[in-house]
Amino acid sequence: MALTLKQSAFVNAALKGATHSDAYRTAYDCSRMTSLSITSSASRLAAQPNIAAVLAKERERVALAVVKATAYTMQDAMDEANQARELAHSVGQAGAAVSAVTLRAKLAGHLIERKEVRIGQLDDSDLDDLLAMRDYVREERVIEAEVVEVDESTMNRPQIRG
């Protein structure tokens, strides 16, 4: 069943975010109605099957459009990481290129960071544990080293500060 002009005006106002009472005021002459009667009439109108169906259908359509517009997929992330890598490579930023490649590898599941959390004092650790912790800290320092200078005479290879 098609909506009347007033029902359509009510639906349009409600879909734009108006309360049912305000939407009712937009569509109908409420000059002789009390606030309570407007609220009651608006509620009855919104509950009518044809109006409720239109409201539900339009709200679902809007929700799907919002989800589609704001969705961020794995492919989106991979594409952005690839663009960042290409840009970094084109301007000779080796560190940024490595970061972009690392991000892509992590997104693809090729690099998985595993961290072991231990609670307690170092006094409870044996020598092998302490040596493993030292080696881990050294590896992290190498990974976190910054590219501080690029010398064209060395074929654009970065100089890494450790």
Q: What pLDDT is recorded for position 42? A: 95
For the chain, the domains span 5-70, 72-113, 115-162
Among the residues of 16-154, which ranges form H helices?
A: 20-27, 35-47, 49-70, 74-90, 94-107, 127-143
Please tell me the total number of residues recorded for the chain in this structure.
Answer: 162
Which of residues 39 and 134 earns the better pLDDT score?
39
Q: What is the pLDDT of residues 77-96, one digit of tens each?
A: 888 888 888 888 898 888 88
Q: What is the pLDDT of residues 43-80, one digit of tens each?
A: 999 999 999 999 999 889 988 888 888 887 778 888 88
Q: What pLDDT is recorded for position 6? A: 95
Residue 156 has pLDDT above 60, yes or no: no
Task: Measure the CA–CA gap between 60 and 53, rounded to whole angstroms.
Answer: 11
Residue 30 has pLDDT above 90, yes or no: yes
Task: Measure the CA–CA gap between 27 and 33, rounded to whole angstroms.
Answer: 14
Q: What is the mean pLDDT of the chain?
A: 82
Q: What pLDDT is recorded for position 27? A: 96
What is the chain's Cα-based Rg? 31
User: Which residue bears the tokens 């006094």?
Assistant: 123
Burial class (CB in 10 A: 0-12, 13-18, 19+), 106: middle
Q: Which pTM was predicted?
A: 0.46
The four Cα atoms 84, 87, 90, 91 give a dihedral, to 10 degrees, of -100
What kind and span of H or E run contains 5?
A: helix 5-15
